[in-house]
Chains A and B, each alone.
Chain A
Amino acid sequence: MNLSAKKVEIIALKERREEILEELQLDGSVEIISSDEASTGEVDAKKSDIELKLAEMRFAASFLSRFKEKESFASNLIDSFFPVKDKYTLKEVGNLADSETADNIVSEAQNLEKSLNHIESKLESLTREVFELEKFSGITETDFEGFTDFEIFIGSIAAEKKDQLLDTLRKKSIFFFIKWGGVQNSRSGFYMVYPREDSDLVDLVKDLGAKEEEFNWNRPPAELLKEKKSEIEELKKKKKRKIEKAKELAESIPKVEALIDWYGWELDKVEAFDDGEKTENYFRLKAWVLSSEAERLKKRIKKISPYVLIDDLDLEEGETPPVLVENKSLMESFEVVTGVYGSPKSDEPDPTPFLAPFFAVAFGLALSDAGYGILLIAISYLMGRKLEDSKAFFNLFIIAGLFTVFAGILTGTFFGTDLFADYRIVDAVADPIEVLYLVSVLGIIQVFVGLLIGLSWNYKQGDYATAFGSKGGSVVFFLGIGAFALTGEIFVLLGSVLLMMALNIIFSKDKNPFKRILSGFGSVYDLIGYFSDVLSYSRLLALGLATGIIAMTINMIASIFMEMIPVTGLGIAVAGFVLIFGHVANLLINALSSFIHAARLQFVEFFSKFMEGGGRRFKPFSKRGRFIEIIKSN
């Protein structure tokens, strides 16, 4: 059903705003219209408080999510399609917000992040130091005291130049002492003690490519190195402990997410108030309210404060109300199909109940295998039980699966075999033309029904010209086809075409008689459109054959494997694997294309007869969360 919304204004005392907005949000049947009024800044402090809190919690959630237990690929994949929300009662999540849980988690997460960053940067600098020290690792003593007339040069040189360095120095002087450290990154570290007056030795060394290294050796490098290494070990252990702690804390991510939703709702309320017009004591909100809920909502709000005014407003020019499509029980599942297309306009019918039978039949014919239908029902049933939040979606596939079983019985296919061939009504592989007739009849019926819906809707809207002219004319033509099929008399068909043209001329919106006559002839053009609409249903034949023949091929490959592999058990095992994997994959691929093509037949061939779509979806001001769902307390 297309629940229309009307525009209202809500005027209330400022001091009661919290209660009133809370009540509106709980009720969830209004959509607040943001006004052009500039903010008065009355609630800025509160707003930025909440925003800060939200930002902190989002940080905590995203930081902690790095430490979350990894889930399996399959469960992640399923979760991305069918997310499951945690269930909370209003009281539970309210208590959670009142408790210090959020503050504690946030501050703990902040501390953890800080100390992890600290450890990380410390580790980095230590690792660098160790790297540099490594080339002096062999130096265990650095007692330079007593070298009063000597200087010390600490440096490193490419390892292969060690001998060359010694040779050069020996040629120059005998009063020097070199202690080699070790090799790191193909450079050797060393220190050289040389007489103060021989400072040209340093230049010699540097000419050979030695680099002076600046080290503050208060202790021997070997000792330092050991110390730094153990410090690294300590830090690594500390890091591990912190990560353990973060992992533990990551288990409370759901709580943080619940609170993100909660504070999101708080922010919505503050923003709704901020958006409205205000006087000293009153505030005024404009909102869309579902027409069916308006009276009930009025009473509910009055209970809180008698000084609330809820009044209808007129639509401004060019303004269209938002649209909410809502159906009960089984029909609700078919909203999945409508949802893909988008909402109807506010003055158009909800197509869901109309498309339901046609979609199910088209899906069944496109998949058309009794075995696949049973498998689809089983999978959908199990998934629907596990993923409660997406139950409507899986129920759709249970219904679609049922029709697949019917279609499978019709064509006598069961997992690609013709096990039930004796009971079949048509053989799609041997006699595709028969199925082509069948799907064409389905197409004619659906286009005809679409036109009837369009006619009655136009009539209800008072657009008699369209109702009786173009829609009525087309309906007459389709009736003509029916009469022709029954009687075989060609003049019935021709008569219906003439009648159609006449209706188009009589009910044409044009004043100009020429244009009126032209529109009568123009209506013949519509027939070409209907022809291609009906032809479009032939895809169901091709898709049905595709499923059946691929299934047949899978069976054949399995039997070839069974014959080819001489080892008794192995042949059966391989064949079994091919059968299971092949059929499940074939079912998934073909269920997807059956869904898409069955949906397309609704969108393109059916909807165009009575609606345009493109309505804006009603976005209620409500406590609907991204992460949690509020349930009623028992």
Chain B
Amino acid sequence: MEIGLILAILGAGLAVTLPCIGSAIALSEVGRSAAGLISEEPEKFGKALLLQVLPGTQGIYGFLAAVLVLQQAGLFGEEIVAVTPEVGWQILLACIPITLAGLLSAVFQGKVSVAGISTLAKKPEEAGKAIILSAMVETYAVIALLLTILILNGITV
């Protein structure tokens, strides 16, 4: 296989794997504290679930970036496009924003969601605000994703 293609696949793999790990860590943290709340007040399950899934978006963003990479590298098409080493490096670098920001922002967003679970426990009517606070962190994953998309879009294979 050509080195360019290898680099592109590496970029796609990292873009999925690291943000997914981040999301998994965050979801497990939120899930654990939500489970505690549910044991007391099972009727709050719906809102707790909402708080839990919030940091899951990073995994999806990573996946999204990977799909774009695979598209660029022609891995979806009938014939594989020749990816030169330069383009391979470009694709790999383009994946870095969402890879790193996705991983870390998910973990930190998880922490805000965990705090949101206690808001939900004490003042369920304010759960909406807890959700917004958690989503604030996600902003930076969105920006990183945007940059990844823009760079990928600019690369000509």
Contact = CB atoms under 8 A, between A and B. Distances in A.
A342 B129 contact: yes
Given A340-B132, A550-B64, A600-B132, A593 B139 contact: no
Given A549-B64, A593-B57, A539 B132 contact: no
A166 interface: no
Interface string B36-67: 00000001111100100110110011011001
B132 A599 contact: yes
Interface in A64-118: 76-77, 80-81
Interface stretch (B2-10, B84-92, B143-151): B143-151
B149 A556 contact: no
B25 interface: no
A539 B132 CA distance: 15
Interface string B12-54: 0000000000000000000000000000000111110010011
Most chain A beta-carbon contacts within 10 A, residue among B76, B129, B135, B142: B142
A600 B60 contact: no
Given A432-B149, A546-B61, A603-B132, A80 B44 contact: yes
Interface residues on B, range: 20 to 34
B117 interface: no
A545 B76 contact: no
Interface string A535-560: 01011011101100110110010000
Contact of B128 (A80, A339, A550, A597): A339
B146 A538 contact: yes
Contacts of B143: 538-539, 542
Contacts of B53: 589, 592
Nearest to A604: B136
A423 B124 CA distance: 46
A529 to B, nearest CB: 15
Given A538-B146, A539-B143, A600-B135, A81 B47 contact: yes
B62 to A, nearest CB: 11
Given A542-B145, A542-B146, A77 B45 contact: yes
B43 A80 contact: yes
Given A539-B146, A542-B145, A545-B64, A592 B139 contact: no
Contacts of B135: 593, 596-597, 600
B16 to A, nearest CB: 12
B40 to A, nearest CB: 14
A433 interface: yes
A563 to B, nearest CB: 13
Contact of A340 (B50, B60, B68, B128): B128
A59 B93 CA distance: 64
Nearest to B144: A542
A433 B132 contact: no
Given A339-B128, A342-B129, A542 B149 contact: yes
A593 B153 CA distance: 24
Contacts of B54: 596
B131 A81 contact: no
A81 B46 contact: yes
Contact of B146 (A541, A550, A553, A603): A541
A543 B128 contact: no
Given A81-B46, A539-B139, A539-B142, A432 B153 contact: yes
B50 to A, nearest CB: 7
Contacts of B56: 589
Interface of B: 43-47, 50, 53-54, 56-57, 60-61, 63-64, 67-68, 76, 128-129, 131-132, 135-136, 138-139, 142-143, 145-146, 149-150, 153
**What are the nearest 3 A-B pairs in CB distance?**
A340-B128, A80-B46, A596-B135
5 contacts: A80-B47, A539-B139, A542-B146, A546-B145, A552-B67
